[in-house]
Chains A and B, each alone.
Chain A
Amino acid sequence: MSDRGVPELAGSGSPGLPSGIGNLTWRARILRGRARHPLLSFVIRRVGAGIILLFFVSILIFAVTEILPGNAAYAILGRNSSPAALAAVSRQLGLDRPASARYISWLWGFLHGNLGSSLTAQQPVSTLIGGRLINTAVLAGLALAVLLPVAIVLGIISGARAGKPVDHAISTVSLAGIALPDFVVATLLIFIFAVSLKALPAVSLLSPGASPFSQPSVLVLPAATLVIVGLAYMIRILRAGMIDVMGSEYIQMARLNGISERRVILEHALRNALAPTVQVTALTLQWLVGGIFIVETVFAYPGIGQGMVQAVIARDVPAIQSIGMLIGIFYVLVNIVADVLVVLLIPKLRTQA
């Protein structure tokens, strides 16, 4: 299948040719190896690219947080501190060492699970964010579980009926919805459901160590905000993917064969809209990563997003770096997993990838 072209390539490096061209056999051998495990080599290349990407992300995070004026010593002592005190604290924090040395020891520590210790909370960053990670996962997971099915149904209806009144209604509403600022939606929801109806808590405070499941009501408004703002985004991508599929030749062929529109959509179009759905899920997960900063802060929900915002406000550099890196890793990982899944679902892409 995919290694159809390889034997010819191997043949061209036949004996008797100058040694330079003999390299072709060597290359062909690698190509053949690739062809035998196209998926494996794709995964390896994709992960490799991801690691390089994360390396640059780590440099960027470190450079922006440490080199720009207003470093950690400032953060501890405040703006009106004396130069001598600043120098002393800088030495204590190891800030007088060259930036490259500090970067390497930070990265080394991070890779070994040592996230440093928080400047404001006087405890290791890892204990600071452990529970928050779980809280955020619960909130984002809940939002995603509601988002996915609703968005898939609405997106497919809209795409399959493109140009019809149903599609018109869905697309116009989602076009408006995609422009809604999350903090505005959150505030309006609080006003309606917490202030006016008094049905749900306005803030989602959890006592330290408490699971969000012990008070499920605190999850409703934050999750609803994420769903409302994310839904429009997902519907639009799915709709575009569906229109793409519906316009393809095999769908027209199926229609020409007299297959009912219902079967065309359910049996032929849907399967090929699966890949976009995987990508949309990945995009939504990445979008949720952005949404949690504001939504968690609005509702005072003790998640990783609120932790990051608080760390930034307090200029808690070790916490900012570690949380930033963790979120960056998650972001890149989601992309890689989605790419691999899509290649698994669509065999055609294996040779192109």
Chain B
Amino acid sequence: MRRDTVRRLPRGLRRLPKSGLVGAVLVAIVMGIALFGRLVTPHPAAQIVGAPYLGPGGGHPLGTDFLGRDLLSRVLAGGLTVVGLSAIATLAAYLVGATIGMLAAYVGGLTDALAMRSMDVLLAFPPFLFLLVLASGGGPGPITAVIGVAVIQIPGVARVIRAAAQEVAVRSYVEAAVARGESTQYVLSREIFPNIVSTVVADGGPRYTGSILLTAGLTFLGLGLQPPAADWALMISENRDGLTFAPLGVLVPALLIMLLTIGVNLLGDGIARSLGLSRSGELVES
């Protein structure tokens, strides 16, 4: 068994390009706020503390939102769902998509054809249309959003993983494992997967960005997370009426989401390039 790829990871990360470093800093800042901000909120995020749409000042550094809740507290508490729901959806997509992709590549034949054709059917759906149809059937909410985003991401993951696994599946160490009589599960998890880890890492950045855009977009439309939850995307839509006189309720969460997605994309691209891997079919520049 070879684990070259796994060993190559840390060395590759040290060669991160500048844009990747910028991305890493952005991700660290926004993730920090999202994960730990909720522990230091000055007020409970759902508590009404004053008049609606107050400007900054008087114990409320960012003012209050459309119901009179403390904006700073809601900003600090509202990142976890943005970061978390999309992370869960992305992980679920990799769990299912990578299994389908590796099985298709390793078993081949009819399994491969069937798996990939069903992926084609899913890809024939405009992603957002799929989310909307699902929300109409399953009802709006975070669970529908996570399942929908995961299903949307599965075909893309399966294709990328299949392409990478097809190269690995014909190597001699895989043939040796098959000759030893190892189970399919063993071959996939111990022989093939460790050697396509770098592909997963390179593919993960843009995939996670996509999940954030989809979940946040759905929440913004009122079909994801429901009030009174504190969530950046939800805050943008609920405080929009105050854009003229209390713009911070919209601008601060909008800026944070933007910095997060840009950061994840820059970091992901930087990692992919430092590993010498292309991003979604693009050629690598040397």
- Is the Cβ of B216 less than 8 Å from the Cβ of A68? no
Contacts of B244 in A (CB 8 A): 195
Residues 21-57 (chain A) with a chain B CB within 8 angstroms: 53-54, 56-57
Query: How far does the alpha carbon of A332 sit from the alpha carbon of B126 in the complex, in Å?
Result: 10
- Is the Cβ of B133 less than 8 Å from the Cβ of A181? no
Contacts of A324 in B (CB 8 A): 129, 132-133
Query: How far does the alpha carbon of A294 sit from the alpha carbon of B219 in the complex, in Å?
Result: 11
Can you list 10 A-B pairs with a CB-CB distance of less than 8 A?
Answer: A53-B121, A53-B124, A57-B125, A64-B138, A187-B240, A187-B254, A247-B283, A293-B129, A294-B220, A309-B221
Q: Is B257 engaged at the interface, CB distance under 8 Å to the other chain?
A: yes
- Is the Cβ of A328 less than 8 Å from the Cβ of B283? no
Query: How far does the alpha carbon of A293 sit from the alpha carbon of B217 in the complex, in Å?
Result: 10
Q: Is A132 engaged at the interface, CB distance under 8 Å to the other chain?
A: no
A184, A290, A312: which contacts B127 (Cβ < 8 A)?
A290
Q: Is A339 engaged at the interface, CB distance under 8 Å to the other chain?
A: no
Q: Is A128 engaged at the interface, CB distance under 8 Å to the other chain?
A: no
B136, B140, B221, B281: which contacts A293 (Cβ < 8 A)?
B221
Q: Is B184 engaged at the interface, CB distance under 8 Å to the other chain?
A: no
Q: Is A289 engaged at the interface, CB distance under 8 Å to the other chain?
A: yes
Q: Is the interface of B mostly helix, strand, loop or mixed?
A: helix
Q: Is A204 engaged at the interface, CB distance under 8 Å to the other chain?
A: no
Nearest 3 pairs between A and B by C-beta? A68-B137, A179-B261, A179-B265
Chain A 212-254 near chain B by CB (<8 Å), digits 1 or 0 = 0000000000000000000000001001100110010000000
Known: A179-B262, A309-B221. 7 other contacts (CB 8 A): A60-B125, A65-B137, A69-B139, A181-B258, A183-B217, A293-B129, A324-B133
- Is the Cβ of A182 less than 8 Å from the Cβ of B126? no
- Is the Cβ of B139 less than 8 Å from the Cβ of A195? no
Q: Which residue of chain A lies nearest to B260 when distances are taken between CB atoms in the complex?
A: A179
Contacts of A182 in B (CB 8 A): 213, 217
- Is the Cβ of A328 less than 8 Å from the Cβ of B126? yes
- Is the Cβ of A183 less than 8 Å from the Cβ of B220? yes
Query: How far does the alpha carbon of A163 sit from the alpha carbon of B129 in the complex, in Å?
Result: 38
Residue of B133, B138, B209 ringed by the most chain A CB atoms within 10 A? B133
Q: Is A70 engaged at the interface, CB distance under 8 Å to the other chain?
A: yes
Residue of B124, B140, B223 ringed by the most chain A CB atoms within 10 A? B124
- Is the Cβ of B223 less than 8 Å from the Cβ of A312? yes
Contacts of B266 in A (CB 8 A): 172, 175-176
Chain A 189-210 near chain B by CB (<8 Å), digits 1 or 0 = 0110001000000100000000
Q: Is A180 engaged at the interface, CB distance under 8 Å to the other chain?
A: yes
A68, A202, A244, A293: which contacts B132 (Cβ < 8 A)?
A293
- Is the Cβ of B138 less than 8 Å from the Cβ of A68? yes
- Is the Cβ of B282 less than 8 Å from the Cβ of A308? no
- Is the Cβ of A317 less than 8 Å from the Cβ of B136? yes
Q: Is B120 engaged at the interface, CB distance under 8 Å to the other chain?
A: yes
Contacts of B269 in A (CB 8 A): 175
CB distance from A228 to the nearest CB of B (A): 12
Chain B 110-140 near chain A by CB (<8 Å), digits 1 or 0 = 0000000000110011111100111111111
Query: How far does the alpha carbon of A64 sit from the alpha carbon of B138 in the complex, in Å?
Result: 8
CB distance from B149 to the nearest CB of A (A): 13
Query: How far does the alpha carbon of A243 sit from the alpha carbon of B281 in the complex, in Å?
Result: 12
Contacts of B264 in A (CB 8 A): 179
CB distance from B224 to the nearest CB of A (A): 12
Chain B 228-252 near chain A by CB (<8 Å), digits 1 or 0 = 0000010011001001100100110
Q: Is A90 engaged at the interface, CB distance under 8 Å to the other chain?
A: no
- Is the Cβ of B233 less than 8 Å from the Cβ of A286? no
CB distance from B27 to the nearest CB of A (A): 11
- Is the Cβ of A313 less than 8 Å from the Cβ of B126? no
Contacts of A188 in B (CB 8 A): 251, 254
Q: Which residue of chain A lies nearest to B138 when distances are taken between CB atoms in the complex?
A: A68
CB distance from A41 to the nearest CB of B (A): 20
Query: How far does the alpha carbon of A86 sit from the alpha carbon of B261 in the complex, in Å?
Result: 45
B132, B140, B254: which contacts A308 (Cβ < 8 A)?
B132
Contacts of B223 in A (CB 8 A): 309, 312-313
Query: How far does the alpha carbon of A324 sit from the alpha carbon of B251 in the complex, in Å?
Result: 33
Q: Is B222 engaged at the interface, CB distance under 8 Å to the other chain?
A: yes
Contacts of B237 in A (CB 8 A): 183
- Is the Cβ of A327 less than 8 Å from the Cβ of B261? no
Q: Is B19 engaged at the interface, CB distance under 8 Å to the other chain?
A: yes
Contacts of A181 in B (CB 8 A): 212-213, 216-217, 257-258, 261
Contacts of A294 in B (CB 8 A): 128, 217, 220-221
Contacts of A180 in B (CB 8 A): 258, 261-262
Q: Which residue of chain B lies nearest to A75 when distances are taken between CB atoms in the complex?
A: B136
A179, A187, A308: which contacts B129 (Cβ < 8 A)?
A308
- Is the Cβ of B285 less than 8 Å from the Cβ of A163? yes
Contacts of B247 in A (CB 8 A): 191, 195
Q: Is A320 engaged at the interface, CB distance under 8 Å to the other chain?
A: yes
